[in-house]
Amino acid sequence: MPTPYSALIPLPLNKGPKGFFTTIDLPSGTYQYKFVVDNRRWCFDVMRPVTVDDSGNRNNTVVVGGKQKQSQQKEQKEQKEQKEQKEEKPAEEAAPVATKGKGKGGQQQQQQKQAKQPKQAKKQKEEEGVGEEEGEDEATRSKRVSDIAKNIISTVKSYQVPFYVGDVDCKDSVEDVLAVATHFQTELPSIGCMFLSGGVASFIVAAVVPPEKITYITAVEWVTAALSVVPNPPNPTGSDSFAHAVVAADPDKGIFPIKLKDLSRGPTFGLMRKRGLVQEEESDDEMYFLE
């Protein structure tokens, strides 16, 4: 932390359309921060990265310059992969297939049929909500999903809370979101978690709740709360312990997945507060989840 905790820097917040914010210039580095509510209560944001300082205080952290560097590295990696793909020669070149008795017309029909097959397969995947990175094989996809799951599992472990709501970057793939949820349920079976994914084509929400905690809240109830921001929402699919739902984008009806993902947090936490699963601690500082 560049500035000692004893040397506090007050940062007045401005109210914007998505909440309160402030803008300051900082040199590259890692900074810790906290919110002061009503000039008396210290709070940290449970949806942002958290660290514990030397005095045992839990604070939010922000890395200045880190994301930009990561973005540059990602862009350089993508450019390198694209260059390698262009240089790489295909193992087998597609050759015209002559159909006996059909001549040139038969060759053209066969080529057209072969060209349509990949497009039809891709369209089918999109309709089923099964997304995949371009050129990604099953092994690569499995590793990517595993890495997403490990990241959220690590975050939840650092919070040490029995319920958590988090974003997962699974594009428009229902399959990937459910795979992440399954990984989580296997690794942390005693913790309830909601997963929110907003891509271009769909808003996907999934929830897992341990059997011993469904008396407090069920996965179906939790997902239903998240869907309350959707006009004519679908019914969740699943059980009290594992449920999910998918909402297709529809700009004409004002249904934008990324926007829905952000809006869904309000009713999601509202239900949790109503059930006594999350509340503000008056005496000390923080927003915490009840055991």
Confidence check: pLDDT of 160 > 90: no
Confidence check: pLDDT of 120 > 60: no
285: part of which helix (H) or strand (E)? none
Lowest mean pLDDT among 15-24, 39-48, 80-89, 219-228: 80-89
pTM over 0.75: no
Of 60, 57, 53, 287, the closest CA to residue 163 belongs to 287
Residue 260 CA, distance from chain mean position: 12
**What is the per-residue pLDDT for 192?**
95
User: Mean pLDDT of all residues in the chain?
Assistant: 77
As a whole number of angstroms, the distance between CA 59 and CA 6 comes to 14
Confidence check: pLDDT of 231 > 60: yes
Q: How confident is the model at residue 99 (pLDDT cuts 50, 70, 90)?
A: very low
Confidence check: pLDDT of 288 > 50: no
Confidence check: pLDDT of 218 > 50: yes
Task: Return the SS3 of 5.
Answer: coil
What phi and psi values does residue 165 have, to the nearest 5 degrees?
A: -125, 125
Q: How confident is the model at residue 172 (pLDDT cuts 50, 70, 90)?
A: confident
**What is the per-residue pLDDT for 82?**
67
> Which has more pLDDT, 12 or 236?
236
Task: Return the SS3 of 236.
Answer: coil
Q: Convert the pLDDT of each residue in 47-88 to its tens digit.
A: 678 787 777 777 888 888 755 455 555 556 666 676 666 665
Q: How confident is the model at residue 126 (pLDDT cuts 50, 70, 90)?
A: very low
Token look-up 């793939």 returns 173
As a whole number of angstroms, the distance between CA 230 and CA 87 comes to 46
As a whole number of angstroms, the distance between CA 220 and CA 209 comes to 9
Confidence check: pLDDT of 271 > 90: yes
Q: Which two tokens stand for residue 74?
A: 């990602």
As a whole number of angstroms, the distance between CA 189 and CA 211 comes to 9
> Could you give the residue ranges of the DSSP H alpha helices within the chain?
66-87, 103-128, 138-159, 174-187, 219-226, 257-263, 265-274
Q: What is the mean pLDDT of residues 191-205?
A: 94
> Which has more pLDDT, 5 or 17?
17
As a whole number of angstroms, the distance between CA 256 and CA 73 comes to 29
Lowest mean pLDDT among 42-51, 122-131, 222-231, 235-244: 122-131
**What is the per-residue pLDDT for 136?**
77
